Copies of this chain bind each other. A is one copy, B any other.
């Protein structure tokens, strides 16, 4: 969807009004049977995390997501639901896959009866919220130490989990995360990353760690440096960082023009 917000984000007050009404009249506002789910990856110092939420009275955790208003684009629905429930804004969300198996949203811990108890009303078995949903999935990559996720409305908890230590997830959400991770690994061969994740001036080990963490494999640091500098993505500065006796690694910067050109061209970047 490119690197800017698409469409006009709705006012919070309007969203709350709609949400109160949605259990009864959802299909008036939203496409029936279509949902969006977002896998937000957070990187910080050699760790990759995923943002999850647990709605009120839920036992299992879910990805941030929701329904698509008939008046907005699907991309906008992903942005809106991430922003609304997590307070994250300006994320670069990438649509990567559709999850469309029949009966993918069945779960013993979240039934019409259980949901009825939560909201204090009788929910019929054929209620629209319990029909099957075709989910359009997005991923994003962000600097997780900059983010303070907070639940909103009916979300009780919202926090980061280590990618290798996830809690119990609803429906096929663990598959969605697994596929998002595969998509992220392919993505970094097609797009430069790091501009939002690293400081303005960074050392070679810092950018090298970022790639090793995401690709989850060892990368030869000399070839890595040679490749990134030879395509012009990063430039070595005269400046060094003094981090101790005999340890003053050179600093590097992104060439932002080249960075943006690589985003536009979608040329393959080989690491």
A-side residues, CB < 8 A to B, are 31-34, 68, 70-75, 95, 97-98, 100-102, 132, 134, 136, 182, 186, 189-190, 266, 268, 270
Contacts and interface: CB of A to CB of B under 8 A. Distances in A.
A27 to B, nearest CB: 9
A74 B108 CA distance: 24
Contact of A70 (B73, B102, B136): B102
Contacts of A101: 73
List the number of copies, as a whole number. Answer: 2
B266 A68 contact: no
5 contacts: A31-B134, A75-B100, A98-B98, A98-B136, A136-B136
B74 A34 contact: no
Contacts of A132: 70
A235 to B, nearest CB: 23
Nearest to A74: B100
A57 B266 CA distance: 40
Nearest to A6: B101
A80 to B, nearest CB: 13
Contacts of A34: 31, 33-34, 134
B68 A100 contact: yes
A182 B265 CA distance: 10
A34 B34 CA distance: 8
Nearest to A72: B102
B190 A186 contact: yes
Contacts of A134: 31, 34, 68, 74, 136
Contacts of A33: 31-34
Contacts of A182: 266
Nearest to A185: B266
Given A33-B34, A74-B100, A189-B268, 10 more contacts: A31-B32, A34-B34, A71-B102, A72-B102, A73-B100, A73-B101, A95-B97, A98-B98, A186-B190, A270-B270
